[in-house]
Amino acid sequence: MKETVLDLLMYLFENHMEEEPHLPPEPLRLELQQKLLAAGYDSDEISRAFSWLDGASDSPILTAANPPKPSSFRMYTDEEQAVLDIEARGFLLQLEEIGVLSSTTRETVIERALALDHHDMDLDDIKWVVMLVLFARPGEEAAFAWMEELVFAETTDLLH
């Protein structure tokens, strides 16, 4: 089965993480890994997905001496632009402007998107990354609920 880490993360979210945003403790994690192997996922992809989830709840360190100003504009590096196209970057800006993402959470989303090593991410992929990061971060329940509604409402619309 040729799946990306993002595909595996989406599968985990939909089938094994409905209520708990963190991976289970080690004995249960091994059980989950066995289920994923039985479902046809590659062990390297499983390890990468587990590492990705472990990193999703961490915040990038923003120094107190140089916090982002509310009026500042985020400039993207060449590497970030290779992963996040103009539509994805505009979407992140929009989420920040309406208060779904803080600048710190935005940085976590960007870092987690880069960690996927998936250079042709589309807008739907970025929406999933945002939703998974918000799900994994304590205190982001309202923002997560908003993103979950957006992601799954669009999926339902496509099915009808």
Q: Are residues 42 and 107 in the same domain?
A: no
Span 58-87, pLDDT tens digits: 655 554 445 566 667 889 999 999 999 999
Quick check: is 139 in a domain?
yes
Span 107-136, pLDDT tens digits: 999 999 999 987 778 899 999 999 999 988
Say if pTM beats, i.e. exceeds, 0.85. no
Q: Are residues 42 and 104 in the same domain?
A: no
Give residue 80's domain range: 66-160
Q: Are residues 7 and 48 in the same domain?
A: yes
Q: Are residues 101 and 144 in the same domain?
A: yes
Return the C-alpha torsion angle 126, 138, 72, 93, nearest 10. Answer: 30
